Amino acid sequence: MRIVISSGHGLHVRGASGYIDEVDEARRVVDRVAEVLNGAGVTTIVFHDNTSTSQSENLDTIVNFHNRQTRDLDVSVHFNSNGSDAHGTEVLWTSDAGHTLAVDVSDVISIAGHFANRGAKERNDLAFLNNTEETAILIETCFVGNKGDVDNYKVHFNEICNAIAESISGETITGIPPTQPDWPDRPDRPSWRPPENIPVSERPELSEGDEGPHVVDLQTMLPGFGASNIDGDFGPYTDEEVRNYQQSRGLDVDGIVGQQTWTALYENKPPILPPPPPPHALSMRDQEAIIAIANASAISNYHWDDRGVAPTGYTQGMALAFAQTYKKWKAGHPAAIKMAKARKDSDKDALNIYRDEFNILGMENEEDGVDTLRHLYALMLGHGMRESSGRHCEGRDMSADNVQSDTAEAGLFQTSYNAHASSDPEFDDLMEEYADPRNEATCYYNAFAEDVECHDGEWDCYGSGAGYEFQKLCKDCPPIAVETAALTLRNLANHYGPIIRRETELKADADNLFLAVQKYIDEHEPEVA
Ligand SMILES: [Zn+2]
């Protein structure tokens, strides 16, 4: 039997990163598995892509290498990533032979690595599985962003590699000694060891101006503190490095090394991962396709009670906003995850208030997931018509005296900023996200504005500070109005009169529109593995 095994992505086309780096670790696993198999007499050819500079070139290079070899089996090694909660091992397949093998490989990796077994998963959209000519599997060893997975991976590295080698070859592997430690020293800190002779409790509090052997130990333990800078003198450079360390580990940033900072150093506490970035804006191709779906939908011609047919901008804008939120949900974005939670037994959750209406249409919301998210958006389509007639520039209700920063309503859903506390911290995090000029392409302003007439006075915002900013952002960048309304409907639905009075219309055709958008996104996703 001959096997070709390659690492996912490439030297210049990086994969996921978290507590560990996908490309670096996939290479270590591949090398070790091949070492074990070749030692056991199973010819195993290794490939790492060191040349490609784009994803398509990378996929072609890997596939072409496999197809040029004489072999019985094609294996690709990856690591998974999806926020910090997702964990476990899974093995992807597309052919029946791949399926059988994937079940076995996932089983044994999960046992060897003490990982949750997510099992074999069919994927028909991956170049490696589709284009390699022999039986193929793609191993997602574990999740780089999950602390438990990474800890287990480090401790059980050699067992995991042995398990992969045995399961893909069908051979029993014995007597192949590990040639590398389960987990090597950190390259940036070769001399680091957890201190054995001095317990944390005996460490003094240190800050700028101190010197001596404890400062030497501190400098030795600080990640990234260059060995040549270790001098036992707590000067400005040490102060800066301590503050960087405290910041990156979520500690109080004061430059004072007390018990908290010593403990984190002793535990080799990993850095806090930044939240996943918002997904890139929809491509122009995707925007055009989704707009076409919206304008062809039955709901786009629907005559809403007391409001009439929605402006073109509203239906198409909502379709784009849903596509974006759905992509965020898939990427583990915290706000989207909250929106997609199962119905709560609460008079503040619109999915509970409208439970009967949903049930009549067969739209159940009893489970976390995209169905619940989509049903929420279906309700929102009617809700935005009720609140603003689908007009993104709608200002405050001029008949009411809500002119404070926090109570002045604005935008499609007439949300006011005082709703933010009910969705802490996601509401404010969304504001920060959409206020960031780098995310301007996620506003889809022109799409929302089509066929909507705005008047001068409507643009006025009231008060100052965050409440003022929120009103302005809702009108300038409508998806913030959509996503904050989605959160508010789940957490503070009584904020909205039309919900309490049951004036918001829930239509099956609204759900049909978003379902078509969902399918489009699923079918046109950029390749990720
Ligand atoms: Zn990957």
Per residue in 212-242, pLDDT (tens digit) is 989 988 998 887 776 778 889 999 999 999 9
Q: Please give the distance, rounded to the nearest whole angstrom, from the Cα atom of residue 528 to the centre of ligand 1.
A: 7
Domain boundaries along the sequence of the chain? 2-169, 195-266, 284-527
Q: Please give the distance, rounded to the nearest whole angstrom, from the Cα atom of residue 8 to the centre of ligand 1.
A: 5
CA dist 465 and 410 (Å) reads: 15
> Which run of H or of E encompasses 64?
helix 55-68
Q: Which residues contact 177 (CB under 8 A, 6 or more apart)?
A: none
Q: Please give the distance, rounded to the nearest whole angstrom, from the Cα atom of residue 29 to the centre of ligand 1.
A: 13
Q: Please give the distance, rounded to the nearest whole angstrom, from the Cα atom of residue 49 to the centre of ligand 1.
A: 13
Q: Please give the distance, rounded to the nearest whole angstrom, from the Cα atom of residue 165 to the centre of ligand 1.
A: 20
Q: Please give the distance, rounded to the nearest whole angstrom, from the Cα atom of residue 80 to the centre of ligand 1.
A: 6
Q: Please give the distance, rounded to the nearest whole angstrom, from the Cα atom of residue 9 to the centre of ligand 1.
A: 6
Q: Please give the distance, rounded to the nearest whole angstrom, from the Cα atom of residue 82 to the centre of ligand 1.
A: 11
CA dihedral over 383, 386, 388, 390, signed as positive or negative? positive
Q: Which 3 state secondary structure label does DSSP give 343?
A: coil
CA dist 330 and 336 (Å) reads: 9
Q: Please give the distance, rounded to the nearest whole angstrom, from the Cα atom of residue 331 to the centre of ligand 1.
A: 14
Q: Please give the distance, rounded to the nearest whole angstrom, from the Cα atom of residue 70 to the centre of ligand 1.
A: 25
pLDDT digits (tens, 9 = 90+) for 240-268: 999 988 988 889 999 999 999 999 988 87
Q: What is the pLDDT of residue 116?
A: 94
- Tell me the CATH number of domain 195-266, given options 3.40.50.2000, 1.10.101.10, 1.10.287.130, 3.40.309.10: 1.10.101.10
Tokens for 392, please give them.
């993104």
Q: Please give the distance, rounded to the nearest whole angstrom, from the Cα atom of residue 445 to the centre of ligand 1.
A: 34
Ordered alpha helix ranges (H), 283-369: 284-296, 312-330, 334-339, 350-353, 355-360
Q: Please give the distance, rounded to the nearest whole angstrom, from the Cα atom of residue 30 to the centre of ligand 1.
A: 13
Q: Please give the distance, rounded to the nearest whole angstrom, from the Cα atom of residue 81 to the centre of ligand 1.
A: 8
CA dist 199 and 210 (Å) reads: 20
Q: Please give the distance, rounded to the nearest whole angstrom, from the Cα atom of residue 314 to the centre of ligand 1.
A: 37
Residue carrying structure tokens 């270590």 = 28
Q: Please give the distance, rounded to the nearest whole angstrom, from the Cα atom of residue 83 to the centre of ligand 1.
A: 14
Q: Please give the distance, rounded to the nearest whole angstrom, from the Cα atom of residue 14 to the centre of ligand 1.
A: 9
Q: Please give the distance, rounded to the nearest whole angstrom, from the Cα atom of residue 332 to the centre of ligand 1.
A: 16
Question: In a structure prediction context, what are the per-residue pLDDT tens digits for the chain, which is 529 residues long?
Answer: 999 999 999 988 888 888 888 999 999 999 999 999 998 899 999 999 999 888 889 999 999 999 999 999 999 999 999 888 899 999 999 999 999 999 999 999 999 999 999 999 999 999 999 999 999 999 999 999 998 999 889 888 988 999 999 999 998 887 777 665 555 444 444 444 566 678 899 999 999 999 998 998 899 888 777 677 888 999 999 999 999 889 888 899 999 999 999 999 888 777 776 554 566 688 888 999 999 999 999 999 999 999 999 999 999 999 999 999 999 998 888 899 999 999 999 999 999 999 999 999 999 999 999 999 999 999 999 999 999 999 999 988 767 667 788 888 899 999 999 999 999 999 999 999 999 887 888 999 999 999 999 988 888 888 889 999 999 999 999 999 999 999 999 999 999 999 999 999 999 999 999 999 999 999 887 666 6
Q: Does domain 2-169 have CATH number 3.30.110.30?
A: no
CA dist 454 and 309 (Å) reads: 17
Q: Please give the distance, rounded to the nearest whole angstrom, from the Cα atom of residue 77 to the centre of ligand 1.
A: 8
Q: Please give the distance, rounded to the nearest whole angstrom, from the Cα atom of residue 20 to the centre of ligand 1.
A: 13
What is the DSSP track for 91-150? EEESSHHHHHHHHHHHHHHHHHHT--EEEEEE-SS-HHHHH-SSEEEEEEEEETT-HHHH
Q: Please give the distance, rounded to the nearest whole angstrom, from the Cα atom of residue 59 to the centre of ligand 1.
A: 11
Q: Please give the distance, rounded to the nearest whole angstrom, from the Cα atom of residue 270 to the centre of ligand 1.
A: 22
In Å, how far are 50, 304, 399, 485 from 494, measured between CA atoms?
57, 22, 20, 12
Q: Please give the distance, rounded to the nearest whole angstrom, from the Cα atom of residue 7 to the centre of ligand 1.
A: 9
Q: Please give the distance, rounded to the nearest whole angstrom, from the Cα atom of residue 11 to the centre of ligand 1.
A: 13
Q: Please give the distance, rounded to the nearest whole angstrom, from the Cα atom of residue 6 to the centre of ligand 1.
A: 12
Q: Please give the distance, rounded to the nearest whole angstrom, from the Cα atom of residue 511 to the centre of ligand 1.
A: 33
Q: Please give the distance, rounded to the nearest whole angstrom, from the Cα atom of residue 51 to the centre of ligand 1.
A: 17
Q: What is the pLDDT of residue 189?
A: 45
Q: Please give the distance, rounded to the nearest whole angstrom, from the Cα atom of residue 48 to the centre of ligand 1.
A: 13
The most distant pair of C-alpha atoms in the chain lies apart, rounded to whole Å, by 83
> Which run of H or of E encompasses 76?
strand 73-80
CA dist 152 and 388 (Å) reads: 52
Q: Please give the distance, rounded to the nearest whole angstrom, from the Cα atom of residue 142 to the centre of ligand 1.
A: 11
pTM equals: 0.55
CA dist 152 and 296 (Å) reads: 51
Q: Please give the distance, rounded to the nearest whole angstrom, from the Cα atom of residue 438 to the centre of ligand 1.
A: 26
Q: Please give the distance, rounded to the nearest whole angstrom, from the Cα atom of residue 22 to the centre of ligand 1.
A: 7
Q: What is the DSSP letter of 347?
A: T
Q: What is the pLDDT of residue 329?
A: 92
Q: Please give the distance, rounded to the nearest whole angstrom, from the Cα atom of residue 2 to the centre of ligand 1.
A: 24
Q: Please give the distance, rounded to the nearest whole angstrom, from the Cα atom of residue 17 to the centre of ligand 1.
A: 10
